[in-house]
Amino acid sequence: MPEIGDVAPEFCLPDQDGKEVCLKDFRGKWVVLYFYPKDNTSGCTREAIDFTENLKDFEALEAVVLGVSKDSVKSHKNFREKHNLKITLLSDPEHRVIEAYGAWKLKKRYGREYFGTERSTFIIDPDGKIRYIWRNVKVKGHVEEVKNRLKELMGRS
């Protein structure tokens, strides 16, 4: 499981349009990489909308926002269109990247155990190193917290 200071695990995944997106493509930029359980669920929708509403602030900081779930490319495309999302969504159906970042967890719901994605966010610096990690994220206020931490890490607080 990656820790703060580690080199971020490399990956290439298809985005909502089926175009391959690789982490290495963003060298020289800050990356906010967030993992979420499922398109069109209440918490995941709120989080994606919050990131979209704050996207101009992240872009002003020269940061890219990437959301990852195990949903299909088609699901991501529909999710973006339905909620007018502007962030890039990456499809990881085999959850290889989700696992590489330690976000694939045993979960419990209604007494049932199953594996799924733990809502997690990583800030990756322009050199590809992990600079901050949130695990088991609560959606309310999270995007603002990410933005503030990014400014702090950049020395712009």
Beta-strand runs (E) in 88-129: 88-91, 104-109, 112-117, 120-124
- Contact assessment for residue 150 and residue 125, using Cβ atoms and an 8 Å cutoff: no
Which residues contact residue 153 at a Cβ distance below 8 angstroms, ignoring those fewer than 6 apart? 30, 123, 125, 131, 132
- What residues act catalytically? 44
Residue 20 token pair: 């391959």
Distance CA 92, CA 76 (A): 11
Distances in Å between the alpha carbon of 142 and those of 121, 134, 145?
9, 9, 5
